[in-house]
Amino acid sequence: MEDIKKFIKENFYRIKENIEKACQKAGIDSGKIKILGASKKQSVEKIKIVYELGIKLFGENYVQEAEKKIKELKDFSIEWHFIGRLQTNKVKKALKLFSLIETLDRIELAKTIQKYAKKLDLVVPVFIEVNIGEELTKAGILPDKLEEFIQEVKNFDRIKIKGLMCLPPYKENPEEARPYFIKMRNLFEKLKPYMNEDFTELSMGTTNDYVVAIEEGATIIRIGEALFGKRE
């Protein structure tokens, strides 16, 4: 246990230092960058350690796994984001567990969120997931279709679009991810004038490429293995 604590603490301070450097390089206020602990397949014990270091935002990918962990952590003031692929038959449960859905990627899902949000008397904050690498195997709205999709989602009064999210193609060299992050920021800036003032978040960058993502405008970075260590 003490070993794990030390390991995670070192990871955390390394990440903080890298964030600081990236922000200095890009002229960004590092206080504006939020770290989301991507905790899928990581134990509750590890989540507690990360929480004690000051991270209060976590993301889970699987509703069933999350349900168990969120219950065990109910006394911690954690903000939970859903960051996985959301099946429509899990929406009701997801809305009860998570405060924000980062992966709205199709109208059918928006319709289902609207339906259950109304029943539960909620307004659900979401990010739109963008398939920025235009990969066949990946979820997300294609960049060309984004404006049209957002216009449709705006018709759902129980959904509030608070930002964009992406998971670009995996590149060994993070520099190769930079063009995707730049493209995301350009989409984000282009949309801003047409959105509410709480359209503020750009969720991008993971273990491998968060430094580059910050330099290109990320406001939330989603860190899994660089923080917790290898997944189980």
Ligand X SMILES: *Cc1c(COP(=O)(O)O)cnc(C)c1O
- Residues at the contact surface with ligand X, assessed by CB under 6 A: 38, 40, 61, 83, 167, 206-208, 222-226
Residue with the shortest CB distance to ligand X: 224
182: which 2 tokens?
């730049």
Q: Which residues lie closer than 8 Å to 229 by C-beta, 6 or more apart?
A: 4, 7, 8, 11, 42, 46
Indicate the residue among 40 and 162 with the shorter CB distance to ligand X.
Answer: 40
Indicate the residue among 101 and 167 with the shorter CB distance to ligand X.
Answer: 167
- Smallest distance from the beta carbon of 7 to ligand X, in angstroms? 15
- Smallest distance from the beta carbon of 118 to ligand X, in angstroms? 27
Indicate the residue among 140 and 215 with the shorter CB distance to ligand X.
Answer: 140
- Smallest distance from the beta carbon of 208 to ligand X, in angstroms? 6
| Three-state secondary structure call for residue 180 | helix
> If you write DSSP's letter for every residue of 31-71 in order, what string do you get?
GGPEEEEE-TT--HHHHHHHHHTT--EEEES-HHHHHHHHH
β-bridge partners, 203:
165, 220
Indicate the residue among 38 and 153 with the shorter CB distance to ligand X.
Answer: 38
Determine contact, residues 56/73, Cβ cutoff 8 Å.
Answer: no
